[in-house]
Amino acid sequence: MTMLKELAAELIGMFVVERRLTISVLAIVAMVASLVDFIGVAPLLGGAALLLGSLTLLVESVLRGARPPG
């Protein structure tokens, strides 16, 4: 049982390295999906938003990691 828990924790940990980064990435994907599927924004524009959003989130997350806590 402990091993199964460790397995689950390890697998979840692969994707949730930092909670805020994970939530932000999921939010960007949801936003792009909504823009393309429901609002009718050009798919390529949605793609650009996905790419630039991911790049921005990466830099922001690294900088946040470099600041001392508190």
User: Which C-beta is closer to other proteins: that of 1 or that of 15?
Assistant: 15
User: What token pair was written down for 61?
Assistant: 């997350």
Q: What are phi and psi of 37, to 5 degrees?
A: -80, -40
Give the shortest CB-1-to-other proteins separation in angstroms: 13
Check: CB of residue 57 under 8 Å from CB of residue 20.
no
Contact residues toward other proteins (CB under 8 A) are 3, 6-7, 10-11, 14-18, 21-22, 25-26, 29, 32-33, 36-37, 43-44, 46-47, 50-51, 54-55, 57-59, 61-63, 65-68
